[in-house]
Chains A and B, each alone.
Chain A
Amino acid sequence: MEALQALLRSRELAGVAVRLIRRYASELAARGFASVKLMNFCGTHEWTTVHFGIRSLVPPNVELVAGPGCPVCITPSACVEAAIQLALDGVTVYTFGDAYRLPALRPVRGARSLIEAKAAGGDVRVVYGFADAVRDARSAREAVFLAIGFETTAPSYALPLAKGLVPPNLKLITALRLTPPAAKRAIAAAVERGLEPVRGIIAPGHVSTVTGAEPWDRLARELGLPAVVSGFEPVDLLASIATLLRMLAEGRVGAEVEYGRLVTWEGNVAAKKLIAEVFEVADAAWRGLGVIPESGLELRGPYRVHDAWEEYGLPRPGPEGDMPAGCRCADVILGLAKPTDCPLFMKACTPSKPYGPCMVSSEGTCAIWARFGGGGLADAVAEALGLRQPLDRRG
């Protein structure tokens, strides 16, 4: 099994990490931490956690939860509705594959998603990146790009715009969002609901490639928590969890970088400059979460000529959460509920027929849980690490 081999290449390190996790977890338990809740903010971290059965490798008092980490899932319905409307009005709409199937809460002239708009005759084109649309739009008439994404994706829009490469006929339905403000919102939500508070932040690796670790350090210090910027391999996550528990045990706050292969303290300075040149930070709506202060990017100054909201007078996303009836995605996105807590999960809502947004993207928490179920590779991995006994005793 490749996973096992991948882990075995770092067997020693993974073994050390798991033992350290157990040591610090019992130390924390002895000091009254009945449960240590750690939250991730990246769909890929949740993939690794579920697929490699990381939850089974950590002691029961360490709880790993997924926070808002999927840019597709949190894209407001109004953005999708705007794209559908324009497609049906004869405008060419470019989109990432992930957002192609994303359902709107309110159908537009019978179409609930861009895929349905295309079936109804709309010119919807799935592209690999914004640059592909920039090239293609030179020959097109009116065109828009459904510009979703977190900080990782923002420079892909900013670079062609800043360099004047984007033709005037191509506009953006801006739906770019920033992760630290959403992390702060999710952490506050647990406290507001009287749930176990989040004790540590597993910060997203690729977002931090652009932003650097610094924003996570600032957030962690503000909240009095430890944060670790983590990579995506199982050993990365185990090492990050061990570091978080050690920081908790030592009473340390602030951020550390585990993903030193790609992430620096200051991030990609050139990319950050491009983002600041083209975009300004604004309050923004998140599906399921409502409006979060200073959590979005909107085109600034001269770049507003590419703003599809203004060009077409589209209704911008409002403060409503935009969740279909009965769907618990809002709580899932905030890390307040597990997919299995939702009555629709794997009944009315499946990967082939998604009802809620968390089931649409392959990085939505519900879609991940649907594909992998519970176990993953935990048993095989535990055996390979010589950790079989304690797991067996746990039943």
Chain B
Amino acid sequence: MCWGVPARVLEVEGFEAVVDFGGGVRRRVLLLVDAAPGDYVVVHAGSAIGKVKPEEALEILLALKEVAESLSPEAAEALDKAIEELRSSLAGAAPSKAAGGSHQAF
């Protein structure tokens, strides 16, 4: 119930959006943030609760996948596909920020 999974917004229709979790998984979710097609959002229990940068979406996917492996092989496989897709989409974009750069300094 506190999982948040990143997804890319495909279409926005009023309070709802169709998002792509990668690996061919698409869902209709409620939009609790202002988001446009192409944005990455974090989805919790059927609602997009926050927006993230694509690089951050990748970081979240990598951490989730590691945990998912011990929970469900299907989930880990789906996340694998999502990671692959996001990586190749990022490879075509500008170089990402330094790892951990979004974390608060000590």
| Residues of chain A at the chain B interface (Cβ within 8 Å) | 1-3, 5-6, 9-10, 12-13, 16-17, 20, 42-44, 47-48, 51-52, 69-72, 96, 98, 127-132, 148-150, 152-153, 155-156, 159-160, 163, 165, 204-207, 209-210, 232-236, 239, 242-243, 246, 256-258, 260-262, 268, 270-271, 361-363, 371-372
Contacts and interface: CB of A to CB of B under 8 A. Distances in A.
Given A2-B66, A159-B15, A150 B1 contact: yes
Contacts of B102: 260-261
19 contacts: A6-B66, A10-B100, A13-B103, A48-B67, A71-B2, A96-B45, A129-B47, A131-B30, A149-B1, A153-B45, A156-B46, A236-B103, A260-B102, A260-B103, A261-B52, A261-B53, A262-B49, A363-B1, A363-B2
A372 B71 CA distance: 10
A72 B3 CA distance: 13
B93 interface: no
Nearest to B62: A6
A129 B32 contact: no
B59 A9 contact: yes
Contacts of A242: 106
Contacts of A271: 32, 49
Interface in B39-92: 42, 44-47, 49-50, 52-53, 56, 59-60, 62-63, 65-67, 69-71
A148 B1 contact: yes
Nearest to B4: A206
A129 to B, nearest CB: 2
Which of under 10, 10 to 19, 20 to 34, or 35 or more describes the interface residues of B? 35 or more
Contact of B3 (A44, A257, A258): A44
Contact of A258 (B2, B46, B103): B103
A20 B106 CA distance: 9
B3 A5 contact: no
A243 B106 CA distance: 7
Nearest to A236: B103
A258 B100 CA distance: 11
Contacts of B33: 268
B63 A234 contact: yes
B27 to A, nearest CB: 6
B94 interface: no
Interface string B1-39: 111100000000001100000000001111011000000
A42 B4 CA distance: 12
- Chain A CB count within 10 A is highest, among B27, B45, B52, B53, for B45
A69 B52 CA distance: 24
Given A232-B63, A235-B103, A268 B49 contact: yes
A152 B59 contact: no
Contact of A44 (B2, B30, B62, B70): B2
Contact of B104 (A148, A210, A239, A362): A239
Nearest to A362: B71
Contacts of B66: 1-3, 6, 51-52
B100 A96 contact: no
Contacts of B67: 47-48, 51
Contacts of A13: 99-100, 103
B83 to A, nearest CB: 8
Nearest to A262: B50
Contacts of A12: 100
Nearest to A156: B47
A268 to B, nearest CB: 6
Given A10-B99, A70-B1, A131 B49 contact: no
